[in-house]
C-alpha cells in the first residue's frame, strides 16, 4: 500500500474533480463513475478510520466514493439537497447532514438509513432572500464530542449537547442570522472560544455560544465566509473575506493569537471573486488550500506563509477537501476513467 494525497474539488454544475499532485492537475470522472456530470457538489466528508471512503453532499442527495472501486454510489435518503456533512469523530459510520431547505439528519449506518432531527424554530423559507434557508456547516466540538454545532443561512446558530438528539438556537448578539461558518478553539489558558461568520461580519463567543460579540475586521467589507483552525495549533486561524457572493475581490486573513488580531496574507495575482474557504488536514498541517467562489485555487506548503496560484481555474467552486489515501499496489495514480482533459485557464 502506497500513501497518496488526494485533493477533491466540488463545483456548482460540473460535479467533483480529483487531483493527486496537490492540485496542479485535475481529472474529471466520466458519466460511468456514478455521479451526474452536471451535479452541484456542496460539501465533502471523510474519516481517518475509513480511509477508502469519501462522502459528497450534492443537489442530488448523498454520494459515496470508494477508492477501491473508483466509483461514486448514490445513497438514497430523504434528503435531496445536502449542503453540510460531518462524521462523528469516534464513529465513522455515524453521519450528520444539513440540507436546503434547512434541516438536520443523522445516519448510524454509513448513510444507508436516516432519521430527521427536530430543531426548534428552524425555518425552511426566508423572507429576506425570498428563498429556502440552508445549513452551511456542521461541526463537532473537538474536545466535547457530545456537542455539535450547526449554522443556518438564513437562520442562526444551533447547538446540540447530546450528539444531535436535541437542539437549541443560540443567536443573542448576532448582527445577522445569515450564517456561513463556525470554528472552535481553546486558548492558552484552556478557555473555549467560538467564532461564527456571517454576511455582515465575524462574531466571537466565550460562553459556549450563549452570547455573541461582533468583531470589526480591518477591511472595506465585513462579509466573511470560511473560518478554519490550523490542525497543529488553536492559535492559528484563517478567515476568508470579500465584497460579497460571488464578488470580485477579497482577502485571506490569518490570526496567530487565537483570533484576537488578524493580518492579511498575500495571494498572488488578481482575485476574481471572494475567497471562500481554507482546506486543512491533520495529516499535514502545513499543506493548505484556499479558493475563490469563481474557481481560482491557491496552495501553501508552509502553513500559510507563502501561497502560489495553481494553473487550473474552475467555473465555480463550493467545496474542496484533501486527505491521505492508500492506493492498491496494482492501481497506478490517476487510474480513474476520465473525460478528455480540459484546458486550464491562465
Provide φ and ψ at 32, rounded to 5°. Answer: -80, -5
CA 243 to chain centre: 20
**pLDDT value, residue 344:** 36
Q: Percentage of the chain with pLDDT > 90?
A: 86
- Let me know: does 272 contact 294? Beta carbons within 8 Å: yes
**pLDDT value, residue 338:** 34
277-320 pLDDT tens trace: 999 999 999 999 999 999 999 999 999 999 999 999 999 999 99
Residue 121 lies in a domain: yes
**pLDDT value, residue 337:** 36
**Cα gap 233→327, rounded to integer Å:** 30
Residue 56 lies in a domain: yes
Q: How many domains would you assign to the chain? A: 1
Q: Which three cell numbers stand for residue 126?
A: 426566508
Among residues 282, 308, 304, which one has the least CA distance to residue 296?
308
Please, what is the average pLDDT of the chain? 92
119 lies in which domain range? 40-274
**Cα gap 120→42, rounded to integer Å:** 25
Model confidence band, residue 341 (pLDDT cutoffs 50, 70, 90) = very low
Report the CATH number that the domain containing residue 138 is assigned in CATH. 2.130.10.10
32-50 pLDDT tens trace: 789 999 999 999 999 999 9
Q: Is the pLDDT of residue 266 over 50?
A: yes
131-153 pLDDT tens trace: 899 999 999 999 999 999 999 99
Residue 15 lies in a domain: no
Residue 230 lies in a domain: yes
The DSSP code for 145 is T
Residue 158 lies in a domain: yes
Q: Is the pLDDT of residue 339 over 80?
A: no
CA 80 to chain centre: 19
Residue 174 lies in a domain: yes
Residue 30 lies in a domain: no
**Cα gap 249→237, rounded to integer Å:** 21
Residue 62 lies in a domain: yes
Q: Is the pLDDT of residue 103 over 90?
A: yes
Amino acid at each position: 500500500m502506497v500513501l497518496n494525497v488526494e485533493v477533491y474539488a466540488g463545483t456548482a454544475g460540473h460535479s467533483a474533480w480529483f487531483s493527486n499532485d496537490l492540485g496542479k492537475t485535475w481529472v474529471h470522472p466520466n458519466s460511468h463513475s456514478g455521479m451526474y456530470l452536471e451535479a452541484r457538489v456542496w460539501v465533502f466528508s471523510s474519516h481517518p478510520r475509513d480511509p477508502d471512503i469519501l462522502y459528497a453532499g450534492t443537489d442530488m442527495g448523498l454520494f459515496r466514493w470508494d477508492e477501491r472501486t473508483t466509483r461514486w454510489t448514490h445513497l438514497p435518503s430523504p434528503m435531496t439537497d445536502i449542503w453540510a456533512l460531518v462524521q462523528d469523530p469516534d464513529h465513522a459510520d455515524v453521519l450528520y447532514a444539513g440540507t436546503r431547505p434547512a434541516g438536520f439528519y443523522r445516519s448510524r449506518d454509513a448513510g444507508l438509513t436516516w432519521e430527521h432531527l427536530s430543531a426548534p424554530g428552524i425555518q425552511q423559507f426566508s423572507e429576506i432572500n425570498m428563498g429556502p434557508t440552508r445549513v452551511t456547516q456542521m461541526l463537532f466540538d473537538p474536545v466535547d464530542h457530545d456537542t455539535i454545532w450547526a449554522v443556518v443561512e438564513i437562520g442562526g446558530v444551533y447547538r446540540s449537547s447530546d450528539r444531535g438528539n436535541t437542539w437549541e438556537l443560540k443567536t443573542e448578539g448576532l448582527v445577522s442570522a445569515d450564517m456561513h461558518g463556525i470554528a472552535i478553539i481553546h486558548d492558552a489558558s484552556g478557555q473555549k472560544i467560538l467564532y461564527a461568520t456571517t454576511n455582515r461580519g465575524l462574531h466571537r463567543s466565550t460562553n459556549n455560544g450563549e452570547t455573541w460579540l461582533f468583531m470589526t475586521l480591518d477591511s472595506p467589507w465585513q462579509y466573511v465566509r470560511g473560518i478554519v483552525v490550523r490542525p497543529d495549533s488553536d492559535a492559528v486561524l484563517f478567515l476568508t473575506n470579500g465584497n460579497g457572493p460571488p464578488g470580485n475581490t477579497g482577502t485571506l486573513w490569518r490570526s496567530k493569537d487565537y483570533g484576537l488580531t488578524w493580518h492579511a496574507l498575500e495571494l498572488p495575482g488578481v482575485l476574481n471573486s471572494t475567497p471562500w474557504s481554507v482546506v486543512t488536514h491533520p495529516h499535514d498541517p502545513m499543506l493548505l488550500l484556499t479558493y475563490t467562489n469563481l474557481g481560482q485555487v491557491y496552495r501553501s506548503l508552509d502553513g500559510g506563509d507563502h501561497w502560489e496560484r495553481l494553473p487550473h481555474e474552475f467555473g465555480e467552486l463550493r467545496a474542496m477537501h484533501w486527505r491521505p489515501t492508500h492506493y492498491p499496489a496494482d492501481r497506478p495514480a490517476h487510474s480513474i476513467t476520465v473525460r478528455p482533459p480540459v484546458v486550464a485557464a491562465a
